Each structure stands twice: as C-alpha cells, then as structure tokens.
Structure 1
Amino acid sequence: MLIGVGLSVATARSENMSLTAPAGEVRLTVTGNIRKTNSEAAALLDDAMLEALPRHTLETSTVVTDGVKRFDGFLMRDLLEFVGADGKTVTANALNDYTIDIPMEDFVRYDVLVATHMDGERLQPSDKGPFWIVYPRDEYSDLQDIRYDYRWVWQLIQLKIK
C-alpha cells in the first residue's frame, strides 16, 4: 500500500519553532535539517513527548526473532513531521554504534514504525530498546530484500536529517 502522506507537510511551514524542554530523560535525539528544536540545533525528546505522537501497532516477522511479533510505537513519518524534518536521508545511530543512512522515501512509502514495545513488553537497551525501527516486511515482498533488513535499527538513540 502506497501512503499518500508526504513529509512535505512539515516543509510547508517556513518558520523555525521551539519544542518544550524535555521534563524526563532524553530518549531520542534528532539533529540535522529540522525546524523544531529545544537545544542548540537538536530536538531532545523524552518519553512524554514521544508518547504524545499517534500510536500504531504492526504485526510482522523479523529476521532476528522467531515467528510474527506485535510491535507498538509511533510512525517514523509522524516523528519527522513533529520535528519539522526536511531532507532526503535519515542517518540512524544506535547504542552499539551501528549507523546507517535510510532514504526518507521509505517513511513516505511504508508505515515504518519506531517500536517502543514488542509483544506488549517495553523494549530495553539490554535487548532491542529503547527504540527499534521496524518495517512492515510481511505486507510487501520488496521489504524482504536484505537491503531493508539493514535498516531495522535496534537500540536507536539518534537520528540526523540530511
């Protein structure tokens, strides 16, 4: 299913806006070409800010788990709109120093989830948490290509918009 919602909604607004300061622990940092910040050139996001994004559920298999899993979280495109992202690439960084560039088009074409929970359990840094980028791989045969498997970033802590 091709999603008609683009990231151009965020780019239609030209003014820079500030986000409120995080009240809790910073769980995700977004930098790069964004218009909404709460720190010098960054959006520092805590759980309350991220939980305010619309919630979604995705059931899919993965290459690193057995069977179909239920993932809960928010859509990457909602997060990118929230911070006013404008770019062609998102560089995702993980706690384990894994880094990969993901085309922004992925988040327009597919309902890519930033998972906070798997099978009802909060993702922990000791496993795949605090966040895991999850693609709806069972819905689209093209997402079963190994190139997409590399984009499933677990232990996600930072995004840079280019």
Structure 2
Amino acid sequence: MNDGCDAVFDMDMLDALGTRSFATATPWTDGAPFWEGVPLSVLMEHLGAEGTAIRATALNDYVTELPMDGLAEDGAILAMRRNGRPMPVADKGPIFIMYPFDQREELKRQEVFSRCAWQLARLDVL
C-alpha cells in the first residue's frame, strides 16, 4: 500500500513478493537457526528504488546503513520467520535483517554484522 511517498507493507504483502530461506549461525543466536524472508534486493526492485544505500531503523532507534550495491549477491533477507515461526518483538522480531553468513565466509565481519537490525521498523532509500 502506498502512503504518500512511503510504501507500507504488512507481513502478507512481504510474503507475496516471494521468500528465500537458509540456515546460518549468528553472533546473537545459539546454533544455526533457519531464517525465512523476502530478499531485500527483491523488495528494492519491486519498489523501483534508486539510491546508493538503505537506512534501516529498528524499534529501539538503532540505525544502520546497507549499501544498495551487492544486495542480491550478499543475499540479505528481511527475515520474518526463524525456525518456521514468526518472531515476536520480545525476541528480535517481527523482522530481522539477516545475511547467509555460513554460506558466504566473506560476510562474517563486523561491518556486515552491524547491518543486521532486528525489530526492524523502517527502511529509507538514500
């Protein structure tokens, strides 16, 4: 749904864009949970977003930036489910920006870890 210059999505609308899933360990979880969500590159393509970066803001006001370049290659998703279940706000939900760290060793660095905002509230294209 569009709201002026903003695009507003609910979980069903995000799911309708198509999802990707993978298992990966993170610095914030035990083991290697199974993550499922819409690829961030698919969402940006769907929106026709043009810019050099995405600013992600979490419910707790944590802010991080992700480069637009390489989104598809890096495999970032807006994870909406962990181990097949929706994530409550009290446990890093409802959306957690996640990368396939175990599939791409070069992603296992602080620069990329810092892009993984949980309790995601907003994305702004810069």
Given the two structures, how large is their TM-score scaled by the length of structure 1?
0.74
- Does residue 1:131 correspond to 2:91, yes or no? no
Runs of 5+ unmatched residues, structure 2:
none
TM-score, normalisation: structure 2: 0.95
Q: CA deviation at 1:107?
A: 0.9
- Give the Cα separation in 1 of the matches to 2:73 and 2:84: 26
Within the candidate set 145, 149, 154, 2:109 is matched to: 145
Measured against aligned partners, the alpha-carbon deviations of 1:70-110 in whole angstroms (never above 9, x if no partner) come to 00111001111111111110000000100011111241321
Question: Could you tell me how far apart the structure 1 residues matched to 2:70 and 2:60 are?
Answer: 23
Q: Which has the higher helix share?
A: 2
Corresponding residue of 1:94:
58
- Note the C-alpha offset of 1:130: 1.1
The aligned counterpart of 2:78 is: 114
> Are 1:58 and 1:113, in contact at CA under 8 Å, matched by a contact in 2?
no
In structure 2, how many angstroms separate the alpha carbons of the residues matched to 1:48 and 1:122?
A: 12
What percentage of aligned pairs have identical amino acids?
33
Hey, which bits of structure 1, 4+ residues long, moved more than 4 A?
none
Aligned residues: 126
- Conserved? CA contact 1:93–1:158, under 8 Å: yes
How many Å separate the matches in 2 of 1:52 and 1:115? 14
The 3-state SS of whatever aligns with 1:72 is: strand
Cα RMSD (Å): 1.1
2:16 to 18, 29, 52: 52
Q: Which has the larger radius of gyration?
A: 1
